[in-house]
Chain A
Amino acid sequence: LAKTTQPISMDSYEGQEVNITCSHNNIATNDYITWYQQFPSQGPRFIIQGYKTKVTNEVASLFIPADRKSSTLSLPRVSLSDTAVYYCLVGDGVFNKFYFGSGTKLNVKP
């Protein structure tokens, strides 16, 4: 099962760039890496998805090294509203089930 490992929590200040790294040593060849954001008492929301190298959208960038055993979500110039839990997700690769780890709780301070 392609499980993931992330830091439990991170602190940052407004305006800083935040990088959250996820380890997924058993990722399968056809698996994509997806990141979600969750605010308290709400459902997770899709942020970004990638397969290799770098992907960028209007809210984040995703960096994936050649071996794909890890990935890094980069949030540029965070604000207080970015305080949330961030989940790294990879497919099972066999049964196509998804594994949500415990996520990383990002706390942005003023």
Chain B
Amino acid sequence: DGGITQSPKYLFRKEGQNVTLSCEQNLNHDAMYWYRQDPGQGLRLIYYSQIVNDFQKGDIAEGYSVSREKKESFPLTVTSAQKNPTAFYLCASSLGVGSTDTQYFGPGTRLTVL
């Protein structure tokens, strides 16, 4: 069954701790993305990756880090430098990053920093 998985669905962390969110896809897509969504707001791009071992900053990359060691995986680390990390995090993938490349989204991870 193809798709994108994110784990965990809910995550709680204490302030000052780094936390890593998982994103895995078996769609054989080259491109992967991370978005952040705050309540009642749209999606904001954090990082995206066009190919393995390459990634680019999005609009709100400060306080976040990513890696792309495998085509299937694009984990996101929320560091203690992120001022307000509590949000809904969405991972997506697409064949490429062109305008016609449909993005397929995972179910999301809701992160709450206590």
Contacts and interface: CB of A to CB of B under 8 A. Distances in A.
Interface of A: 30-32, 34, 36, 41-46, 49, 87, 90-91, 93, 95-103
A25 to B, nearest CB: 16
B103 A98 contact: yes
B51 to A, nearest CB: 13
Q: How large is the interface on B (under 10, 10 to 19, 20 to 34, 35 or more residues)?
A: 20 to 34
B102 interface: yes
B90 interface: yes
A68 to B, nearest CB: 12
A36 B35 CA distance: 15
Contacts of A102: 41-42
B102 A43 contact: no
Contacts of A98: 33, 45, 103
